[in-house]
Structure 1
Amino acid sequence: MTERLVDVTQRIRTVHQLSAVISAMRGIAAARAREARAQLDGIRAYARTIAGGIGHALAFLPQPLPPEPPHAPHPAHAGHVVIALCAEQGFAGAFSAHVLEAAERVRLRAPERPFTLFIIGDRGLLVAEEKSIPYAWSAAMISHPDQAPELASRIVDALYARLDGGPQVSLLHAVPGDGAAQVTEKRLVPFDFARFPLARHAVPPLTTLPPDVLLARLVEEYVFTELAEAIMLSFAAENEARMRAMIAAHANVDKTLDSLVARSRQLRQEEITNEIVELAAAASRP
């Protein structure tokens, strides 16, 4: 079928509309990434406060806890729980696939151990179903930074319900950066007390709880802050990945638009030429 100028003109309008949508999505992703980064300072300040409390609580214990290396081996029967923070929405490229690939590498480090996977993010669930990756629990990723504390609380509740038997717990999440998002691994359980120096003060602070109870509650709160920080970092990285995808899409749209504009000019010139030929033919008739 012969291409018509009116059809090409309509396609140009459609591509202009698509370009506007892509620009809007890029702007929204940029705003969300900035909001997430802005929240990190507050989360980290709270974590430092809890860390100071853990240092005090450790000093109150009758006997100091034995030091444990950050990567101490875990019993094979204990199992391994991995929390994978993936994307909630689309147009983020291979963001979720990279996180789940990192989870698979963790599983292969000790294939003989029971492996439990938590997937956060609907796009991560889609990738897991496509690749037949089994998972034990899932939840939606946040769509706004203000939702991070609620999601962190849900993960903590689901996690502590599965801590019987002393499993190791790792957290996988992407971190924002200038290039492609990098996936990092953080160990949550067993808790590494060696990170917290003992507090030494001439006058110890007043406490209303036994040192072991106080320490246990502070550890729970610190794990919560680690999850909240990871959720915010992952959310920022997801939106930065979406920004990069929208930049690439906008470049493709510009190329398509240039091609359509050139084609419309060619068709317009052909129509003008045909009209001139018709006029000349009509004028030459007796």
Structure 2
Amino acid sequence: MCIVVGTEQGFVGALNDELVEYALRQDGGAHAYRWLLVGSRLASAAASRGLSAVWSAPMAVHPDAIPQLAVRITDALYARLAPGQRVARISVVSAQPGESRLQIAQRILIPFDFTRFRVSRARSHRLSTSRRRGCCPVSSTFMCSCNCVKR
């Protein structure tokens, strides 16, 4: 399954066409029917190639609409995941923001790529529920300056 994120409005040149082409290359064209499309111009670009997506929604045109769109995308994704069925791959294809020339990238959501996140080598700070003897007695739980948990 592939979530392809495009545009709602014009003045973006061939961006939506290039997003469709990129997604087709990544997908081998065999699974275009499993696409979730975000952006009316993107849906139009896919339809002009005879591709029909399983779901589409207009792109948010105001920042206030982004959380609602995220919920709609998530709901559409979960609605297509059959209970008990394993999904081999879910990805997101989108243009990279802030680039001077068009760059399209694919991010894999499933299977989860743990290598995208660095593990901190710094010592983790843990809260302990045990109290040291003789430490400041207090009625509520919190950390004191001597790093014990007070109750």
Does the alignment reach a TM-score above 0.5?
A: yes
Q: Which consecutive unaligned segments of at least 5 residues does structure 1 have?
A: 1-80, 206-286
The residue type paired with residue 84 of structure 1 is: V
Point out the structure with the larger helix share.
1
* Alpha-carbon distance change, 197 to 95 in structure 1, aligned in 2, over 3 angstroms: same
1:100 and 2:20 matched? yes
Q: Contact between 2:96 and 2:103, CA under 8 Å: does it hold in 1?
A: yes
Give the drift of 1:196. 6.2
Q: Contact between 2:6 and 2:39, CA under 8 Å: does it hold in 1?
A: yes
Distance in 2, Cα, partners of 1:129 & 1:115: 11
Q: Contact between 2:24 and 2:32, CA under 8 Å: does it hold in 1?
A: no
Match for residue 116 of structure 1 among 22, 27, 34: 34
1:202 and 2:126 matched? yes
Distance in 1, Cα, partners of 2:128 & 2:101: 47
Identity percentage over the alignment? 35
Structure-to-structure mapping, 1:29-68, within 5 angstroms: none
Q: Which consecutive unaligned segments of at least 5 residues does structure 2 have?
A: 130-151
Which residue is 1:172 aligned to?
93
Point out the structure with the larger strand share.
2
1:185 and 2:81 matched? no
Give the drift of 1:163. 2.4
- What TM-score does the superposition give when structure 2 sets the normalisation length? 0.70
* Alpha-carbon distance change, 204 to 155 in structure 1, aligned in 2, over 3 angstroms: farther
1:82 and 2:6 matched? no
- Count residues with an aligned counterpart: 123
Distance in 2, Cα, partners of 1:193 & 1:178: 25
Give the drift of 1:85. 0.6
Q: Contact between 1:96 and 1:127, CA under 8 Å: does it hold in 2?
A: yes
* Alpha-carbon distance change, 204 to 149 in structure 1, aligned in 2, over 3 angstroms: farther
Classify the secondary structure of the residue corresponding to 2:44: helix
Give the drift of 1:191. 2.4
- What TM-score does the superposition give when structure 1 sets the normalisation length? 0.39
Deviation per CA, 1:110-163, whole angstroms, max 9, x where unpaired? x4x796111111111111111101210000001112211111111111111222
> Relative contact order: is structure 1 or structure 2 higher (C-alpha 8 Å, sep ≥ 6)?
1
